[in-house]
Structure 1
Amino acid sequence: MSSQPDTLFFAAVGDVHGHMDRMVRDLQDWSRKARQSLAFVLQVGDFEPHRDEADLATMAAPARYKRLGDFAAYHQRRRRFPWPVYFIGGNHEPHGHLDATPDGFEVAPDCHYLGRVGIRELHGVRVVGLSGVHDEAAFTRRRPPLSRLGSVSNKDFTYFTEEDVERAMEAGTADVLLLHDWPSGVIAAEDGADFLGRRRSPSREEVGNPYARLLVDALRPRLVLCGHLHRAYRGWVEHAEDVRSRVCCLSSVEEGPGALAVFRVMGETLQEVTWMGVPEP
């Protein structure tokens, strides 16, 4: 099965938590079964690109979750990503490494951190990313300088700020918006009971945050990608003039296929294809 000349496929991946080998293996499995190549991969945070124990020490997480993972092999060029990977920061990242270059950089061959706020044009797809999670008390404060790492809580580096959101809004438009936490108000009323008391979701109304939603409303992307809650969900945000944004929430790589989604771009059309299925011609 072959694509039309103006058709491309890209993948989205949920929380990786250092399991780069698993991510690569699962996406290669899709490519093999679908007989399609991926132009690039977008990842929604908690990527955990730890090079060594020093990086691991700068991550905010309980000790039992601090594991090096597979990234060192990619950083040391013993393994390579088969396609360009672009990721934002979540709430479990080596900020001692990432915040040294807050505007983003290539952390390993073909693996790019988009920064606290990132804007990229990838094969004609305009991608905007916002790293971090929301904390109301931290939102209006300046993030501590990296020099204070070790003297303040590692958590203080995991939050996005009002300045970050304002910078992201300056992007004006986006085809794809990358967030770690969900936007508020994306869960349909009929699905509310399924979220009651689950991970970070005491009720449907308390899932997500209003500033991520503000970005969705301002940029009106065709697609919103997010992770953080370790569960797969699809929803819509309705805008004026019959415009709406598709919201694709992804689980963690350890939890299987719900962490992965593949999208086909044909001209002005951006459409999710069936995971682990062969896409339509």
Structure 2
Amino acid sequence: MSSVKIAIQGCAHGELSKVYSKVAPDTDLVLILGDFQALRSTQDYQALNVPPKYRTLGDFHSYYDGTLTAPYLTIFIGGNHENSSYLQELKYGGWVAPRIYYLGEFGSVWYRGIQIAGWSGIFNRSTFSRNDLHFERPPYRRDELVSVYHQKLSNFIKLYMMNHDLDIVMSHDWPVGIEQYGNKSKLLSLKPYFKKDIENNDLGSPLNKFLLDYLRPRYWFSAHLHVLFEARVQFKKDVVAKEKSKNSNQDEIELNMDDDQMVSAGKVNKDEIELSMDDETSNPVVNKDEINLNMDDDETTVNANEIQLDMDEPKPEKIASPLESTLYLGKPPTAKVVPPRISPIDQNTDFLALDKCGGRRAHIRQLTVTPTESHQTHPSCKDTRLHYSKRAIAINRVVESYIKSHGDAFCGIDTRSIIADPQNLILVNELMPLVEMELKKLNELNDETFVVQDTFKAEAPTVDDGSQLKFYPNSQTEEYCKKFNIVPPNLE
């Protein structure tokens, strides 16, 4: 089985041509870890959370209008400095330009036997705790321009249910605590102001920490903090408890989220993983005058006397599911049960974070990945096109259908308790069997059904006429929702 040569890029900040100029000529695939900035014209500044004096159009618009063509197949996720309007138009993913694919708010695709999953945006405690069904729409209010890229509960649930042997997970911000598994001293020498966040256990996302421990992919790539950092997380095998409480599921697998479940191995073994750097490997000098564009406030005040929302659901009802299946969405179980992994995973995860594009910053790495034995029969091994993950489609169908029919109950979920311990998200126990049911139906379809077709079309103007930003319905999203019978986004 042939290997796949991948270039991993940290924050791009709109400098796409500069990124491509640093990619090795024999590269098969480029992954960009957020702050991509897919600006089609200066009109899209209205959807970009960057102070006016620091806004630059970049060169993506030349790839969008066809003046330039991406020299490499490219997949990216969103960060916290994006053209949020365009990315919202492609909620479930799609081509933003020829050969440049956005993975979506949540998404997963296959490429030549390698499965890639991820989610866009960053964690913000206040927005995640609020958990309403308000969807930011252009033209954005000032607060919406920020909250639009904050990660939402629905997408956490989706990635949570991708619990099988993933090769690569992409996130913009880091898993909290990951600094404990690499060279923390070197990290602090480059970014001394990280010390307080590390002491407060705030450097990164608690949701990503859980997902890293639960999904255990071969590789996890992040950006956001503008620094090179690598680590290896070694997982102990899950242990099935000998004794169960009378309310527990006898088939439950104990998933210990304590730090002693993960063992640090320090630096990545260079003989095992080829992460050859260009001349970008020199450590960047910290610029104390650098503008910090992270304008999010992760702090929120919890009112101890606040009345918790009632999580009781209405009477169970039947709703039509995609492909004429029926989803029975009743009241979620009350027992705290973590769904077992589809395939027991005890492998290591190699973590890599990269700097932003520019100068001598360590912003790009080359990596050679060989499909695992279990993935070598996947249909994507036969060609060089992207293939949708059937499981991700099934998850989108189930979660979006649930939210549409049980919106009040969904908003009533205690998200603060989930931040404290994601295993409190017992809704997953109801949704997981439905995902398996939908996946079984999808498995009956022809493999060609799941090939990501090249249907890019420029929907928005490439010239700023000075008008107010508006939503441009994207035909790719419409086709995806129609083809797989998924609830379309409501942005108009």
Equivalent runs, 1:85-234 vs 2, <5 Å: 85-140=74-129, 141-142=131-132, 144-147=134-137, 149-153=139-143, 154-173=145-164, 174-188=166-180, 191-192=184-185, 194-195=187-188, 198=192, 202-204=196-198, 205-234=201-230
One-letter amino acid of the counterpart of residue 202, structure 1: K
How far is the alpha carbon of 1:262 from its aligned partner? Answer: 1.1
How far is the alpha carbon of 1:143 from its aligned partner? Answer: 6.0
- CA deviation vs aligned residue, 1:170-208 (integer Å, no higher than 9, x gap): 122311000000111111376247427646663434311
1:201 and 1:58, CA in 2 relative to 1: closer, same or farther beyond 3 A? farther
Tell me the distance in 2 between the aligned counterparts of 1:96 and 1:139: 20
Greater fraction of residues in strand: 1
**Kept in 2: contact 1:45–1:131 (CA 8 A):** yes
TM-score, normalised relative to structure 2: 0.50
**Kept in 1: contact 2:35–2:80 (CA 8 A):** yes
One-letter amino acid of the counterpart of residue 188, structure 1: Q
1:97 and 1:198, CA in 2 relative to 1: closer, same or farther beyond 3 A? farther
Q: Give unpaired runs (5+ residues) of structure 2.
A: 238-345, 374-492
How far is the alpha carbon of 1:133 from its aligned partner? Answer: 0.4
1:143 and 1:212, CA in 2 relative to 1: closer, same or farther beyond 3 A? farther
**Kept in 2: contact 1:142–1:161 (CA 8 A):** no
**Kept in 1: contact 2:188–2:194 (CA 8 A):** no
Tell me the distance in 1 between the aligned counterparts of 2:160 and 2:107: 11
Moved more, 234-243 or 194-203: 194-203
One-letter amino acid of the counterpart of residue 59, structure 2: D
Tell me the distance in 2 between the aligned counterparts of 1:97 and 1:9: 29
CA RMSD of aligned residues (A): 2.1
How far is the alpha carbon of 1:240 from its aligned partner? Answer: 2.1
Partner in structure 2 of residue 245 of structure 1: 349
Tell me the distance in 1 between the aligned counterparts of 2:114 and 2:352: 17
Partner in structure 2 of residue 69 of structure 1: 58
How far is the alpha carbon of 1:65 from its aligned partner? Answer: 2.4
How far is the alpha carbon of 1:82 from its aligned partner? Answer: 1.1
Tell me the distance in 2 between the aligned counterparts of 1:176 and 1:255: 27
One-letter amino acid of the counterpart of residue 4, structure 2: L
Moved more, 85-94 or 56-65: 56-65
How far is the alpha carbon of 1:67 from its aligned partner? Answer: 1.0
Percent identity over the alignment is 24
Tell me the distance in 2 between the aligned counterparts of 1:150 and 1:266: 43
How far is the alpha carbon of 1:268 from its aligned partner? Answer: 3.0
Tell me the distance in 1 between the aligned counterparts of 2:42 and 2:193: 28
Equivalent runs, 1:20-31 vs 2, <5 Å: 20-27=16-23, 30-31=24-25
- CA deviation vs aligned residue, 1:114-143 (integer Å, no higher than 9, x gap): 110011111111111110001111114236
How far is the alpha carbon of 1:101 from its aligned partner? Answer: 2.1
Equivalent pairs, count = 258
Q: Please identify the structure whose Cα radius of gyration is greater.
A: 2
Equivalent runs, 1:269-280 vs 2, <5 Å: none
Tell me the distance in 2 between the aligned counterparts of 1:41 and 1:200: 29
Partner in structure 2 of residue 263 of structure 1: 367
One-letter amino acid of the counterpart of residue 236, structure 1: R
Equivalent runs, 1:43-82 vs 2, <5 Å: 43-82=32-71
**Kept in 1: contact 2:354–2:362 (CA 8 A):** yes
**Kept in 2: contact 1:200–1:229 (CA 8 A):** no
Partner in structure 1 of residue 28 of structure 2: 39
How far is the alpha carbon of 1:8 from its aligned partner? Answer: 2.2
**Kept in 2: contact 1:99–1:146 (CA 8 A):** no
Q: Give unpaired runs (5+ residues) of structure 1.
A: 32-36, 270-281
One-letter amino acid of the counterpart of residue 61, structure 1: V
SS class of match (1:202): helix
Tell me the distance in 1 between the aligned counterparts of 2:28 and 2:229: 24
1:143 and 1:45, CA in 2 relative to 1: closer, same or farther beyond 3 A? farther
Tell me the distance in 1 between the aligned counterparts of 2:353 and 2:230: 6
One-letter amino acid of the counterpart of residue 177, structure 2: G
| Runs of 4+ in structure 1 over 4 Å off | 196-201
TM-score, normalised relative to structure 1: 0.85
How far is the alpha carbon of 1:265 from its aligned partner? Answer: 1.9
One-letter amino acid of the counterpart of residue 219, structure 2: L
How far is the alpha carbon of 1:255 from its aligned partner? Answer: 4.2
**Residues 1:10 and 2:11 are matched in the alignment:** no
One-letter amino acid of the counterpart of residue 260, structure 1: I
